[in-house]
Chains A and B, each alone.
Chain A
Amino acid sequence: MVNTKVTLSGWELDNPVIPASGTFNFGKEFADFYDINILGTFSFKGTTKEPKFGNPTPRIAETPMGMINSVGLQNPGIHAVIEHELPELKKIFNKKVIANISGYSVEEYVYNCQLIDKEDQVGIIEVNVSCPNVHGGGMAFGTDPKNVYEVTKAVKAVTTKPVYIKLSPNVTDIVEIAKAAEAGGADGISMINTLLGMRIDLKTKKPIIANKMGGFSGPAIFPVALRMVYQVSHAVNIPVIGMGGVSSAEDVIEMMMAGATAVQVGAANLVNPYACKEIIEDLPRVMEKYGIKDLNDIIGIA
């Protein structure tokens, strides 16, 4: 028997496999395919204060071994999430969930986090700092250590649950940003969000994505994500949830060896709705193959 249990800020998960925000909606669609209670937990769709339709379509483009999305945070808004989505989720999921929160100003992050902090169903608040700051000329919060520090500090001041800051990889020095989150009081780091990417349609000679560019993810970004998780986990003293291209039990183990305490799976869920189920079922076999008795023994071992 191998041990797949891991602990994030005092919260013990049955296994480290967590569907990533935006690729699992609020769970219902996947509960049609399998019992989602087998998951470590999952991170729900990025939620803003107001309901958001998101970007114009086409929002999706294919890439070699990956995809670009420009969904633009389509979500029903924090109030509908609390009043409708969480009660619905309770019917199909008996574990706590990770609440992925977005915002366009420090005040909005504070507002959303304060509300979601009151929900028993939420285990961790994951703050997505890849959103543009409307008061900062539209630059993403996550590209400036000062902004990340400020958001983290403000959110920590109004919450009781663990706060994980979800980092954007579209920066020169991700370690500097992670340290700013830690200094602001973050309980952990989630990384990485999507890389900015683009595809052009040779027939129309125009970008495929209506917004021209979008978030690039999938197996193609795995080595970049792994490198960043390695760098950050060695530079901070808080846990890191690693993600970016994870598609197999082997990838989970590799990400943990790089320094991740738990691992999120994004795009893989979209291509194969059973991706997380298959990874969880395969994990003990792959652990045995590599002589791993306890996943906790390999965190950051590389």
Chain B
Amino acid sequence: MYKRDIYTVLENKKIAKDVFLMVLEGDTQYITAPGQFINILVEGFYLRRPISICDWDDKTITIIYKVVGKGTEAMAEMTAGKKLDILTGLGNGFTAQEGSTKPLVIGGGVGAPPMYGVAKHLIEKGAKPTVILGFTSKDDVFYEEEFKALGCDVYVTTNDGSYGTKGFVTDVIKTLEGYDYFYTCGPLPMLKAIAGATECSGQLSFEERMGCGFGGCMGCSCKTLTGNKRICTEGPVLVKEEIIW
């Protein structure tokens, strides 16, 4: 029943331009699926900051976040030992698709972190995911090696061609064959482009501004073909066929 706890920052380091990796120590029993998120109370700010879970084990949670405003700026200043009030295990997360053995796992920018947890989970389930990571430029690239270390084939794209394939993740998807499903998280235009670039079914993770993160305020609702859903509770992951673009 208890989903809020105090977590301790173990590590907080810069891993790319404006992008930080934070490891938190505390109770992880409420995390049940990759693609779930946590909601962090940052001192001096009224609403919590929702951040996806990149990876977790018995007592630690790893998150990767980009500094985009004052709240994430304050997070970037935090050092080891800092205590944080966090809600964990929020959202539905991704579900391994029955029968899919060769899925695509696609992350765009800071949509890449939750896809690490997804790739790891799929491999444990016996699938062999191919990973595509899309970034703006070379300085933005992170986690390529970590995905490779899981044993995945990894493609990296940059919009300006300064690293990897020049273009968008969909430019790589076009060149691939034999995949049977996809899982993705990233900016809305990317999600839309992916859904249009393949006949395959898949799961896509969405963002919305949140009042609570646990279903209390109806601040994050969207319409789907399977009814109204709260991005924080029935989402953030939706199935391609139910999405109304």
Contacts and interface: CB of A to CB of B under 8 A. Distances in A.
A11 interface: no
Interface string B75-117: 0000000000001000000000000000000000000000000
Nearest to B2: A33
B4 A274 contact: yes
Nearest to A72: B218
Contact of B220 (A22, A53, A59, A64): A59
Given A45-B218, A59-B219, A270-B217, A208 B209 contact: yes
B223 A53 contact: yes
A122 B222 CA distance: 30
Nearest to A64: B46
Contacts of B45: 62
A71 interface: yes
Q: Determine the main DSSP class of B at the interface with A.
A: loop
A74 B221 contact: yes
A22 B45 CA distance: 21
Interface in A29-72: 29-30, 32-34, 45, 53-54, 57-67, 69, 71
B176 interface: no
B130 to A, nearest CB: 32
A77 interface: no
A271 interface: yes
B86 to A, nearest CB: 12
A67 B218 contact: no
A24 interface: yes
Contacts of B47: 60, 62, 67, 270-271
A219 B223 CA distance: 31
B218 A54 contact: yes
Interface centre among B208, B209, B219, B233 (most CB of A within 10 A): B219
A29 B215 contact: yes
Contacts of B173: none
A144 B168 CA distance: 56
Contact of A32 (B1, B41, B223): B1
Interface string B202-243: 000000111110111111111100001000010000000000
Given A33-B4, A270-B211, A270-B212, A74 B218 contact: yes
Interface residues of B, number: 27
Contact of A58 (B208, B218, B233): B208
Interface in A212-251: 218-219
Interface string A1-38: 00000000000000000000011110011101110000
B125 interface: no
A58 B221 contact: no
A272 B214 CA distance: 11
Contacts of A32: 1, 3, 214
A63 B215 CA distance: 21
Contacts of B87: 273
B41 A69 contact: no
A200 B209 CA distance: 14
A170 interface: no
A269 interface: yes
Nearest to A65: B46
Contact of B216 (A61, A67, A218, A269): A269
A208 B211 CA distance: 13
Contacts of A62: 45-47
A150 to B, nearest CB: 29
Contacts of A60: 47, 209-211, 217, 219-220
Interface of B: 1-4, 41, 45-48, 87, 208-212, 214-223, 228, 233
29 contacts: A22-B217, A23-B216, A25-B216, A25-B217, A29-B214, A29-B216, A32-B214, A54-B218, A54-B221, A57-B208, A57-B219, A57-B222, A59-B220, A60-B47, A60-B210, A60-B220, A62-B45, A63-B46, A67-B46, A67-B211, A69-B217, A74-B218, A74-B221, A74-B228, A218-B46, A219-B46, A267-B46, A269-B216, A274-B4
Given A25-B215, A59-B209, A66-B46, 4 more contacts: A57-B209, A74-B221, A270-B47, A271-B212
